[in-house]
Amino acid sequence: MAVNKVAGYPDLTGGGTSKYIGQIYSKQTILKWLDEAIAPAITMQQLAKDLINAGDTIYITTDPDPTVSDYTINMEVDWELLETPAVTMTIDYAEYVAFRYDKISLKQFFTDKLGQATTKSSQKLAIATDVKLLNNVAGSADAANKGNSAGRKFAGYPIGVTGTPAVINKTVVLDYITHCDSVAGEQNWPKSDRWIAIPQVMSNLISRSDLRNASLSGDGKTTLKNGYMGQLGNMNIYNTNLYTTVSDGGLTCYNILFGHKEAITFVNQLQEMENHEKFERTFGRGMKGLHVYGFKVTKPEALGVLYATFTV
């Protein structure tokens, strides 16, 4: 079972003896998500009826990739047998919240504390999802989409490597976003749905750069839903404060992700909030919520990493 269980309880997944929870094939659909989360905005989301109460292993089919060959008059063609290998992923993350107030305490509050706590819980579940995704997929990016020789053809975009991070200030910040967009272009990513998720310090530099007003398109707001800031070139820019930094030679560095929505598949298996009006041994009201999900880089060529440090 991908999500750990309490010792002593039966394993009902395909890995156990009962095998009540099977392995399944998923279909793509649209997932509604909280405005606070970035994950749904930058991933290919899947939530189908066949996922609900289904399994912990999912198979995702890939696109066929036929070979183009030269042809001469009257030649006999070679027939290619196409395969579409499936990508296997697991539902391996789960978080929950559970809280209650005594009934007397609820009567004495001037505001709806239970409602406030419920809203805060939803936000924190979304944050927990973003933290795990943003800090666990960089290693799966294609080699041509990172380092100081990035670019599938040019192989010369300096977007940082351990020991030699890109040093970004307000003068060059837009240059590096353009580098990432060029790396994307050399991998033939569709121009729509390209994205880069930048840390707050990089957002600060963009806001103070001389070219911001001319280059960054948006609706004039600093931050929109999902942390959306606007677009530079073909890159949709999202702001996040959830990267885990690394220390590199005394410098604070970030593995900044950029990609296309098809790079990462995000499967939301269960998102549930339950209201509780009665408790066996006390009086009060409560709420509990559960989120079970998984993600995987299913197209490494559509994911890149800008490894950078900043000077403000």
Diameter over CA atoms, the chain: 89
Averaged pLDDT, 199-205:
95
Quick one: pLDDT band at residue 213, thresholds 50, 70, 90?
A: low
pLDDT value, residue 185 = 98
| pLDDT above 80 (res 27) | no
| pLDDT above 70 (res 58) | yes
Domain limits of the chain?
A: 141-263+301-310
pLDDT tens by residue, 96-137: 999 999 989 888 887 788 888 888 888 888 889 999 999 999
More confident: 5 or 258: 258
pLDDT value, residue 29 = 25
pLDDT tens by residue, 169-200: 999 999 999 999 999 999 999 999 999 999 99
Averaged pLDDT, 204-233:
69
pLDDT value, residue 12 = 57
Averaged pLDDT of the chain: 84
CATH number of 141-263+301-310: 3.30.2320
pLDDT tens by residue, 241-290: 999 999 999 999 999 999 999 999 998 776 777 889 889 899 999 999 88
> Nearest Cα to 87, choosing from 63, 116, 115, 120?
63
Return the residue matching tokens 């912990």.
56
More confident: 257 or 60: 257
Phi and psi at residue 294, to the nearest 5°: -155, 160
Quick one: pLDDT band at residue 33, thresholds 50, 70, 90?
A: very low
Q: In sequence order, what are the residues at sequence separation of 6 or more whose Cβ sits closer than 8 angstroms to the Cβ of residue 186?
A: 144, 151, 152, 153, 154
Counting other chains too, the contacts that 177-180 makes at CB distance below 8 Å and 24 or more residues apart are 177/232, 177/233, 177/235, 177/237, 178/232, 178/233, 179/150, 179/306, 180/235, 180/258, 180/304, 180/306
In one-letter notation, the amino acid at residue 149 is S
CA atoms lying within 13 Å on the CB side of residue 241: 5
Cα distances from 4 to residues 93, 97, 124, 201, in angstroms, run 9, 17, 21, 36
Strands 44-46 and 264-276, how do they pair?
Answer: parallel
